[in-house]
């Protein structure tokens, strides 16, 4: 997990750990190392590079979750009105998406950008 030291990333890491996953957290701030230690996982301070296909043959799946406006941001009515669902998302919704991507049900998904944005980034 990248950017897992705080906010949505930390919520996702906590959810995965609670569901029995061993977590590895990459964070540029160093917060990921502390959280990983707390959760019994591995933490690394640094930045990521795109390797989603390099490890696919080893059944290592790498996907990006692209959140929209999340409720941990300052509430701005203009932003909320621009979202087709007319609300901010929650960190818990992002964490649930990450947990799905780590589950056996997503075993054939890799190298994807998954928008979790209430329809904000409208595309087909």
Domain positions in the chain are: 7-48+63-116
Per-run averaged pLDDT (10 residues), the chain, 124 residues: 74 88 82 89 72 74 86 87 93 90 92 91 66
Which pLDDT does position 124 carry in this prediction?
A: 45
Which pLDDT does position 49 carry in this prediction?
A: 57
- A 10 A CB-CB count for 95 gives 22
Which pLDDT does position 1 carry in this prediction?
A: 63
Structure tokens given for 32: 């990921």
Maximum Cα interatomic distance, the chain, rounded to a whole number of Å:
46
Strand-strand pairing, 113-116 and 64-67: parallel
Query: Phi and psi dihedrals of 2, rounded to 5?
Result: -105, 155
Nearest to 33 by CA among 6, 52, 12, 60: 6
Say which CATH superfamily domain 7-48+63-116 falls into: NAD(P)-binding Rossmann-like Domain (3.40.50.720)
Burial 38-71 (b: 16+ CB within 10 A, else e): ebebebbeeeeeeeeeeeeeeeebbbebebbbbe
Residues β-bridged to residue 114 = 65
Cα–Cα distance measured from residue 89 to residue 35, given in angstroms and rounded to the nearest whole number = 23
Which pLDDT does position 83 carry in this prediction?
A: 93
């Amino acid at each position: 997990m990248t950017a897992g030291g705080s906010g949505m990333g930390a919520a996702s890491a906590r959810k995965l750990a609670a569901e029995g996953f061993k977590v590895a957290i990459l964070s540029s701030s160093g917060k990921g190392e502390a959280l990983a230690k707390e959760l019994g996982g591995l933490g690394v301070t640094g930045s990521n590079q795109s390797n989603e296909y390099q490890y696919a043959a080893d059944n290592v799946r790498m996907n990006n979750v692209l959140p929209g406006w999340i409720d941990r941001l300052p509430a701005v009515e203009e932003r909320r009105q621009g979202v087709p669902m007319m609300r901010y998302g929650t960190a818990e919704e992002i964490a649930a998406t990450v947990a799905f991507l780590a589950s056996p049900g997503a075993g054939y998904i890799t190298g994807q950008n998954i928008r979790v944005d209430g329809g904000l980034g409208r595309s087909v």
